[in-house]
Amino acid sequence: MIRAGIVGGTGYTGAELLRLLMAHPEVEVVAVTSRQEAGRPVSELHPGLRGYLELEYREPADAGLEQCDVVFFATPHAAAMHAVPALLDARVRVVDLSADFRLRDAELWARWYGEAHACPELLEEAVYGLPELNREALHDAQLVACPGCYPTAIVLGFLPLVEAGLVDPATLVADAVTGVSGAGRKASVAMLHGEVSESFRAYGVAGHRHLPEISAVLQGVSAAEVGLVFVPHLVPMNRGIHATLHARLDGSLDLADLQAAFERRYQGEPCVDVMPPGSLPETRSVRGSNMCRVAVHQPPGQPQQVVVLSVIDNLVKGASGQAVQNMNLMFGLDETLGLVSPGMLP
């Protein structure tokens, strides 16, 4: 059995990670940490785990994390980077769900996150945990940077087009909406039901922290300079991301060509579903699942334009499910182990 520890098990991603690992046949969760909740049963904070997990929260320093095979960090940014080096020295493998190791450029990270990186030497070592892009590197990874939720939906939507040079990468536009759980489990006036319900708004238009991550990943597969406009939006639902992606085609391609390109790129990918032509994927179809569903369109009368629709559950494929998928690959397991579950309806 893989002995797993979770640092920061009080938020939504920590709860989702625990839910998934409780059903994983090859994992035993041996430690869950929280400084504020130390000594409290985990199932008191996450009642859905009652009867499945009998552990109490422990202080990180007293949790025996160095005895684990893998440690997941479900913490806010700038927390994992202070603890990861010691765990790597103890030969513990790490999957970080925060943003601490997603960017390779320490100066760029500091500019977007407002402080110097604590261990910049590890940025090059970390493997970006998008299996559809870095599957082989994940097998031997000691440190995995799990992608953000918006980057997962957007990169998977653009990847077949940018990677194959089918679009002008300077023309990328991503309009994406997320449910309120994307903001985390914290007290915030902006996230109150009365503030969010029956409303729809953009945010981060002047610059969102996921922008450099998305741009860097796409630049890594592009032969030309990437230009990306990214506008996130908040909608009154608990889970889900819907990304509507636009680009200008670099050549003469019809919808059949584009459909074939997506089907070819994602053939055999267990967690990406390329839908039939004309499909309109819904966030509810992936709720609770580790699946990304994509559909490709061409606007009528605009043969040089392509539109891609991409949907994920922000807490599963956009966070904890993808983290488990990464762990499976790191330990030589079937990457879908513990993750085969259809979307929850209604």
Looking at residues 266-284, what average pLDDT do you find?
97
**Are both 59 and 17 inside the same structural domain?**
yes
Decide: 49 and 43 in contact? Cβ < 8 Å.
Answer: yes
Radius of gyration of the chain (CA): 20
Domain boundary at 110, 125, 140, which? Answer: 125
Identify the band that residue 185 occupies on the pLDDT scale cut at 50, 70 and 90. confident
Q: Which position has the token pair 């397991």?
A: 333
For residue 129, the model assigns a pLDDT of 98
**Are both 196 and 117 inside the same structural domain?**
no
Distance, CA of 195 to CA of 277 (rounded, Å): 37
For 246, the token pair is 């636009």
Residue 51: inside a domain:
yes
CATH of the domain at 44: 3.40.50.720
* Torsions phi, psi for 128 (to 5 deg): -70, 120
Q: Give pTM, 2 decimals.
A: 0.96
Q: Which position has the token pair 């130390």?
A: 38
Residue 106: inside a domain:
yes
Angle made by CA atoms 12, 113, 118, in degrees to the nearest 5: 95
Least confident of 207-211, 269-273, 277-281, 300-304: 300-304
For residue 188, the model assigns a pLDDT of 76
Integer distance in angstroms from the first to the last C-alpha of the chain? 35
- Percentage of residues in the chain having pLDDT higher than 70: 99
Q: Give the count of beta carbons closer than 10 Å to the beta carbon of residue 220.
A: 14
Residue 199: inside a domain:
yes
Decide: 220 and 138 in contact? Cβ < 8 Å.
Answer: no
- Look at residues 296, 239, 263, 243 and name the one whose alpha carbon lies nearest to residue 19: 239
Least confident of 101-105, 188-192, 342-346: 188-192
Checking if the pLDDT of 316 tops 80, the result is yes
Distance, CA of 178 to CA of 90 (rounded, Å): 37
Decide: 306 and 297 in contact? Cβ < 8 Å.
Answer: yes
Distance, CA of 239 to CA of 235 (rounded, Å): 10
For residue range 85-96, what is the model confidence (pLDDT) as tens digits?
999 999 999 999
Looking at residues 265-291, what average pLDDT do you find?
97
For residue 171, the model assigns a pLDDT of 97
**Are both 276 and 180 inside the same structural domain?**
yes
Identify the band that residue 187 occupies on the pLDDT scale cut at 50, 70 and 90. low
- Give the number of C-alpha atoms closer than 13 A to the C-alpha of residue 81, restricted to the C-beta side: 24
Distance, CA of 112 to CA of 326 (rounded, Å): 26
96 alpha-carbon distance from chain centroid: 11
**Are both 16 and 120 inside the same structural domain?**
yes
**Are both 93 and 7 inside the same structural domain?**
yes
**Are both 107 and 159 inside the same structural domain?**
no
The amino acid at residue 174 is A
**Are both 41 and 85 inside the same structural domain?**
yes
**Are both 81 and 155 inside the same structural domain?**
no
Identify the band that residue 294 occupies on the pLDDT scale cut at 50, 70 and 90. very high
Residue 228: inside a domain:
yes
For residue range 197-252, what is the model confidence (pLDDT) as tens digits?
888 899 999 999 999 999 999 999 999 999 999 999 999 999 999 999 999 998 78
Task: Kindly list the distances between the CA atom of residue 192 and the CA atoms of 124, 205, 228, 236, 299, in Å, as whole numbers in the listed order.
Answer: 39, 21, 31, 10, 37
Residue 245: inside a domain:
yes
Looking at residues 314-321, what average pLDDT do you find?
98
At 80 the three-state DSSP class reads: helix
**Are both 57 and 167 inside the same structural domain?**
no
Q: Which position has the token pair 């790597």?
A: 88
Decide: 232 and 208 in contact? Cβ < 8 Å.
Answer: yes
Distance, CA of 155 to CA of 147 (rounded, Å): 10
For residue 111, the model assigns a pLDDT of 96
For residue 186, the model assigns a pLDDT of 72
Checking if the pLDDT of 313 tops 90, the result is yes
Identify the band that residue 193 occupies on the pLDDT scale cut at 50, 70 and 90. confident
**Are both 108 and 223 inside the same structural domain?**
no
Residue 343: inside a domain:
no
Checking if the pLDDT of 104 tops 90, the result is yes
Looking at residues 116-135, what average pLDDT do you find?
98
Residues labelled catalytic: 149
For residue 250, the model assigns a pLDDT of 86
Partners of residue 33 on adjacent β-strands = 7, 58
Residue 267: inside a domain:
yes
For residue 160, the model assigns a pLDDT of 98
**Are both 89 and 160 inside the same structural domain?**
no
At 257 the three-state DSSP class reads: helix
Looking at residues 300-311, what average pLDDT do you find?
95
Task: Kindly list the distances between the CA atom of residue 328 and the CA atoms of 2, 154, 242, 284, 288, in Å, as whole numbers in the listed order.
Answer: 10, 23, 26, 26, 18
Residues 6+ apart with CB under 8 A from 287: 239, 240, 313, 343, 344, 345
- How would you classify the pairing of strands 305-312 and 292-297? antiparallel
Domain total in the chain = 2
CATH of the domain at 258: 3.30.360.10
Give the residue numbers spanning the domain of 102. 2-125
pLDDT, averaged across the chain = 95
Distance, CA of 81 to CA of 79 (rounded, Å): 6
For residue range 33-58, what is the model confidence (pLDDT) as tens digits?
999 999 999 999 999 999 999 999 99
**Are both 21 and 167 inside the same structural domain?**
no
Residue 53: inside a domain:
yes
- Percentage of residues in the chain having pLDDT higher than 90: 89
